[in-house]
Each structure stands twice: as C-alpha cells, then as structure tokens.
Structure 1
Amino acid sequence: MTELDTSEKKAKKSASKERQFKGLSMSERQQARREKLIEAGIEAYGTQGFFSVTVKDICNEAKLTERYFYESFKKSEHLFQTIFLKLIDELQHNVMQAIMQASGDPEKMIKAGLTALLTTLRDNPRMARIIYIDAMLVQELHNQATIHETMLRFDRMIHAFVMLMMPNLKRSDGEIALVSTGLNGYVTQIAIRWVMSGFKQSMDEVLSSCSIVFMALLNNFAELKQ
C-alpha cells in the first residue's frame, strides 16, 4: 500500500467520523449547541438580568450540560457580549431598513427610523433590557470597548442619516459628527428611561420626544441654507 493510499484512507475515516449524527457533522452539532446557548442566554438575561443568571441556569434553559457551554464560551461575559452584539445588529438593521424604505421626505425618514427603533424595543423587551440596562452595567463590555464601539456605530448611522436627509448641507464633517453623537446620546438616554420604566409612557409620547431634536436640527440647518 502506498503512502498516498494510507493518507486517503485516513482522510476518509476522519470525514466519516465528522459526518453523521442525526444528519449533522460534528462542527454543525457544535454550532447548533452554540445557537441554543445564545437563545437560552437571551431568555435568561432578558428576563432575570445578567447578574442573577449563572452558567448552570443558561445550561438548564438550553438543556445542555456545562461542558458544552465551555465548548463555545470561556465565561458568562463572553456569551453576554455575543448576545449583545447580535441584538445590536438586529436593532440597527431594523432602523436602517425603515429609513431606506421611507420616502425622500426628511420628516418621514425621521419618523420611520425612530418608530422602527422604538417598536423593536417595545416588541422585544428581552432585547431592550439586555441592550439598555444590563449592557451598561457589565464591566467586561466597557473593558473591551464594546459599548464605546457600539455607540460609534450608531453615531455613524445617524451621521449617514443626516447626510441622506440633507445631501447638500454645507457643514464640516467634524461638526456633523459631533451633532450625530449628540443625537445618539439624546435618543439613547430616552430609550434607557423608557425601558427601565417598563415602557410606561406611550410610544407616541416617546416618539414625539425623540423627534423634537431631529426636527430642530432639520429646521436649523434648513434656515442656515437660506
């Protein structure tokens, strides 16, 4: 038997080991377990809060043993970070999609984007709690600059939004960047208060409060152009 034949046999044997267990390969099964842990984390962290949940709680929710938790995550904070970033992606996607689907009317774009943000939070209270309450308290996210980077992502999104509303705006890029940061902080603080209150105020009130500053910016910049 040649050395090549031996190598081919080893490769086939390795592939057969990887291949089938209920139709899934080893790597596919590991990915499926990881997704179950993420979903369990969203449920547990989103209802009880990060600091009230243990690795064992997550595993019980996912119906997996703890060894499978450490197969995918080093510690609770790493799972929480993964969940936080996943939910941020979903939230940002919803907002951007709503803005792009709105007409070219700036007022309609403002309403569409903010409505998408607030509706997503109201309809997903677990997401809202994880993003706007617990994430602010988990030190690991601050140590790794995850919160900072996320705020910058939304700053850039608002920056792009302002330029989309007013493509001929004659203001410096630096000034628009600062304004975008201010708008982001304003909406974030309103969202935090709304989420912490259990969505006590009506969405119409919250939407109106968030819209005021965007409309003020729009009117101010429009006057400067005249």
Structure 2
Amino acid sequence: MRLVDAGIAITGTEGVAGLGMRAVCREAGLSQKFFYESFTDIDELLHAVYAATLARLEEEIGPAVSARDLPGVFDAAARLMEADPRVCRILLIEPVADARLRRHVRDTIPAITIAALGDLAAGSPADPAVRMRFSALFGALISLFVEWTEGSLGSDRAAFVRHVCGVATQLVPQLGVRPR
C-alpha cells in the first residue's frame, strides 16, 4: 500500500510524467526490490493509483448513489476534491493528458457508469450513441470539476452543484434530479 500511496502523492501533485519507479520508491522509503515484488511495471502501478483514487471517490459518493440523489453525488465529489485536489488531478486531468491512462479509463468507465446509474443509463455501453452521450457528459463534468477544484468558479458549492446537475440532466435527461 505504501507504493500506491506514494504513487498517489506523486501523480496527484506532479502528474503521470513524474511517476517513475525510482521516484515512487524514494517517496515510499522502499527499495526497488519491493517495487518489483508488487508490480510488474510502472503502468501496473499507475492503474493501481487510479483504482485506489476511484475507490475513494466511490466511497464518498456511495450513499448518494444508493439513494439516487444526484445533487448529493456531485456535492460529495466536490467536497472530496476541495479537501484533496489530487483526486481531481488523478481521476480527471491525467487521463486526458496520458494515453496509457486514458485507454485504461475508457475500458473501465462504461462498467462504472452502469454500476452507478443502473437503469438510468439507458442502452448498452457498446452502443456508440450511448458512449457519445456519456462522453459529452464526462467532458462537461471534467471541465467543471477541474475549474471548481482550481477555485475559478467561486466558493459557493451549492450553486456549483445546482449548475452541474443542470448540465448533467440536459446531456442525459433520464438522470433527473429529485428535490433535496
């Protein structure tokens, strides 16, 4: 876990470009031997860093997802990214910048979306129309959350959440928003 934590620290502050085996071992205070006992290469660690960060987000938003509380989902995500901007960088910025991570995310996002949205994600993730709809949604969400995390959209989280919900329901109307 120390190697993954070190990978999160490096990727969350320096980006994927700073993630190297020596840098991770130095950050974790471990020898390179431990790296190779845990991971076959840096790509495997990068996927573990992404998965651990995604699991943290899923834990934060889980109760709101279960309650089908879309504003609660976005509020929990915004709170987490306010508290730890590394989450935004790892989950939203780096997959756009790094082709290896982007391919990994592209392969995992449809399953995550279906799991989180259930029957609200009408259609199959194999359907190009469904993928385009969710690609548009994710693009908008990425942009909004990056700007929010960087502080350029003000500090009113409630207004931010209302706006994000409005964008999400315009792009994917079947999401709907229940009043809070």
Q: TM-score range by the shorter chain?
A: 0.7 to 0.9
Provide the alpha-carbon RMSD of the alignment.
Answer: 3.1
**Partner residue of 1:7?**
none
Residues 1:55 and 2:21 aligned together: yes
Unaligned ranges ≥5, structure 1: 1-34, 164-171, 221-226
**Partner residue of 2:31?**
65
**Partner residue of 1:37?**
3
TM-score w.r.t. length of structure 1: 0.62
* 1:208–1:70 distance in 2 versus 1, CA, 3 Å: same
CA distance in 2, matches of 1:140, 1:179: 23
Q: CA offset at residue 54 of structure 1?
A: 2.6
**Partner residue of 1:23?**
none
Q: Which residues of 2 match residues 1-226 of structure 1 at below 5 A? A: 35-100=1-66, 102=67, 109-142=69-102, 145-160=103-118, 162=120, 173=123, 182=133, 185-195=136-146, 198-201=150-153, 202=155, 203-215=157-169, 217=173
Q: CA offset at residue 49 of structure 1?
A: 1.2
Percent identity, aligned pairs only, is: 19
Post-superposition Cα deviations, 1:35-56, rounded to whole Å, max 9, x if no partner, equal 1111111111111111023322
CA distance in 2, matches of 1:90, 1:126: 12
**Structure 2: which amino acid aligns with 1:38?**
V
Q: Secondary structure of 2:141's partner?
A: helix
Q: Secondary structure of 2:151's partner?
A: coil
Count matched residues.
169
CA distance in 1, matches of 2:30, 2:24: 9
Q: Secondary structure of 1:199's partner?
A: coil
Kindly indicate whether structure 1 or structure 2 has the higher relative contact order, using CA contacts under 8 Å at least 6 residues apart: 2
* 1:60–1:204 distance in 2 versus 1, CA, 3 Å: same
> After the TM superposition, which parts of structure 1 deviate over 4 Å for at least 4 consecutive aligned residues?
177-181
TM-score w.r.t. length of structure 2: 0.75
